[in-house]
Amino acid sequence: MSQQTARGGSAAWALVITSVAGFMAALDNLVVTTALPSIRKDLGGALPDLEWTVSAYTLTFAVLLMFGAALGDRFGRRRLFIAGITVFTAASAAAAMAPGIDSLIAARAVQGAGAAVMMPLTLTLLTAAVPEARRGMAYGIWGAVNGLAVASGPLVGGSLTEHISWQWIFWLNVPLGLILVPLARLRLAESHGTGAPLDLPGTLLASGGLFGIVYGLVRGPVDGWTGAVVLTGLFAGTALLVGFVLYSVRAKNPMLPMRLFRSRAFSGINAASLLMFLGMFGSIFLLSQYMQGVLGYSPTEAGLRMLPWTGMPMLVAPIAGILSDRIGGRPVVATGLFLQALGLGHLAVVATADASYAAQLPALIISGIGMALYFAPASNLVMSSVRPKEQGIASGANNALREVGGALGIAIMASIFASRGGYESGQAFVDGMRPALVTGAAAVALAGVATLFIPARRRPTAPISPPAGPTPEPVLETAS
């Protein structure tokens, strides 16, 4: 069991603190997208500079997630969680006060580093605080808040930019961070991982590999997929990750033990997470632009019309968590992923340059229910697929794969969009978006297939009355 040393480790407080922290980190993935025109007007910068205000956060977030989780396991999860919130909050203030585009990009990179330490530890701290029998519902609420943050990023960013100023998309984090730091110190219990020393060679290989791949994915749509820098990043990153796998197989105390992937549960849910975020991130990236640029909605109007999708996790995810406690996470996650794929496919079919909202509404509702059914049970499956002392690195690995999936989704779907359509007219945008959404739907459907390879939870058999005669030897059964 994890070592508990702090006072007041309340499950309710842990749920509130970790959910709010996760919301902050997840929100900043896409919150900047709808504010880019205003940022360009105030700070200047070419199109690549504006893209880096989004990509700098994604890059450092994805690259440092596993390292952040490893630091928490080694030096204390609560201690590093507080440090991550502090860095994230300070960088948010720096971004809000940035005098130029270069300083804004630098602040976004530091924000991503703070989030990389904070985000994976939210799940391990929550797991340590909540009794096993109630974790499904806790994960449901945590997943609902995080899912809402990812999906509502464009709405929040657009509304703040439209009604106040773009700086408030960063100022929003500051009071939340200032409240969370003392609450985390007083209300969260400290816990540690295995206590093994930091795996520096593994950290360098994994971080370098993720950096190369994510950098290549981020720059591919801008510089071209055959550009020297893009190809170098992708090939070098892949080579470093292969080296990381080979090293980790032989290392005594690896940062990510490769034996974890022998578990069908761990491998299946991580493959599903990567594919789910690939399809979802790329779809949100295009649909938010479609509603504004083609259908003519303001950022706030577009966000409100996407609420049947983005707001659904708040209603359904807690129920999904309860269902996963009762029937297991696999059927709930698989159902959610197939519904999400169905919703994206429906959106691809009904999208036109003048589509009515009524035509889109069923697809948005189906997608929202599907996303809600995924988030909570997926977290439960990740954390239950490893031993308690390995839950920190399992959370870090899963979050890293989600971020890589998100970057991959935006890169792939933006490339498909650019090859089949463009921004010249509403019809050109729809011509590019439709095949991209079909690709996103296919990726999410493959995620559903990957989930089916996760072993089903075995139910304990009902006791059978022993026959008359000598008492038989007891037979012990284990359940996964």
For the cut 70, the answer to whether the pLDDT of residue 6 exceeds it is no
- Who wins on pLDDT, 26 or 232? 232
Work out the mean pLDDT of the chain and round it to a whole number.
78
How far apart, in Å, are the Cα atoms of 146 and each of 40, 163, 424? 28, 24, 35
Max mean pLDDT range (60-69, 197-206, 229-238, 389-398): 229-238
Mean pLDDT over residues 105-114, rounded? 90
pLDDT in tens, 422-463: 778 888 888 888 999 999 999 999 999 998 888 876 544 444
Angle of helix 173-187 relative to helix 11-27, nearest 10 degrees?
Answer: 150
Task: Choose from 24-28, 124-128, 152-156, 276-280 the range with maximum mean pLDDT.
Answer: 276-280
Top pLDDT among 386 and 164 is at: 164
For tokens 């909540």, what's the residue? 130
3-state secondary structure of 462: coil
User: Residue for token digits 């599903």?
Assistant: 272
pLDDT top residue among 254 and 463? 254
Of 379 and 308, which is predicted with more confidence? 308
Confidence of residue 376 (pLDDT cuts 50, 70, 90): low
188, amino acid identity: L
Residue 64 has pLDDT above 90, yes or no: no
Task: Say if residue 470's pLDDT is above 70.
Answer: no
Would you give the DSSP letter of residue 354?
Answer: T
Q: The pTM is what? A: 0.72
